[in-house]
Structure 1
């Protein structure tokens, strides 16, 4: 019960910091009504409401995950942070394939299907993001392209 309340306070503090960061965003004169400031403020408001619910109505007996699950969550979180840092220097395809492969392996621990899933997701998402949505993604490191 206490852990839910503590987590609710942490969520509210994080949401307030998120909203404060949203107010620092510079907007241009050509922005839409739900622009670069409004949407993060709305998300922060929803997070504050969720934190309040956790404080006011905590779970009587929360079920904590076992050690194996906590390790899997930590591996997934570290993978996602490493992915974010690897995107710019390594391009889209390589980090996405590795990240998707690791996460796929966590879901079903078979190496070959996980590697193929990572590769297929990497190529498929690149095609969607680059050619259908028109995002300016770099497929591989810039040094490879000359």
Structure 2
């Protein structure tokens, strides 16, 4: 029970810091009525509420994952950090395909299915973000084409 409450308290502080940082987002005079602060503040509020639930109603008998699960979590964190740093120099498609493939392989260790999932997710998200949402993503590094 103590571990849930400690994690809930730490998460609450992080959520409050996230909300505080979201209030510092600068808005231009051409912003939409909701503004760029709304979504981060909503995410922070949901995280704060979830943290309060952990503090007020902890699991009476939490079961911690075994060592193999910790290794999988560490691999996922490393992959996501590497993904964030590789987006700008390598474009969107290649890093997203690799990251999605590795994470998919962790969920279900089938190499062919993981590779197809990575490529499909990469292309699908690129089409969605670029053409449906109008984001200015580069598919590949600028020097390639």
User: Please, what TM-score do these two structures have when normalized by structure 1?
Assistant: 0.90
Please show how residues 24-35 of structure 1 align to structure 2 within 5 Å. 24-35=24-35
Q: Could you tell me how far 1:128 is from its partner in structure 2?
A: 2.3
Unaligned runs of 5+ in 2: none
How far off is 1:91 after superposition?
0.1
Deviation per CA, 1:95-119, whole angstroms, max 9, x where unpaired?
0110111011112212222112212
What is the aligned partner in structure 2 of residue 85 from structure 1? Answer: 85
Partner Cα distance (1:27, 1:3) in 2: 39
Is 1:44 aligned to 2:67, yes or no? no
Deviation at 1:124, TM superposition (A): 2.2
Could you list the runs of 5+ residues in structure 1 that have no partner in the other structure?
none
| Structure 1 residues 128 and 41: CA distance shift in structure 2, 3 A | closer
1:56 counterpart = 2:64: no
TM-score (norm 2): 0.90
- TM-fit CA distance, 1:67: 1.2
Matching of residues 1-146 of structure 1 within 5 Å: 1-145=1-145
CA 1:44–1:116 in structure 2 vs 1: closer, same or farther (change >3 Å)?
closer
- Give runs of ≥4 in structure 1 deviating > 4 Å: none
Q: How many residues align?
A: 145
Structure 1 vs Structure 2 CA RMSD:
1.6
1:82: Cα distance to partner? 1.0
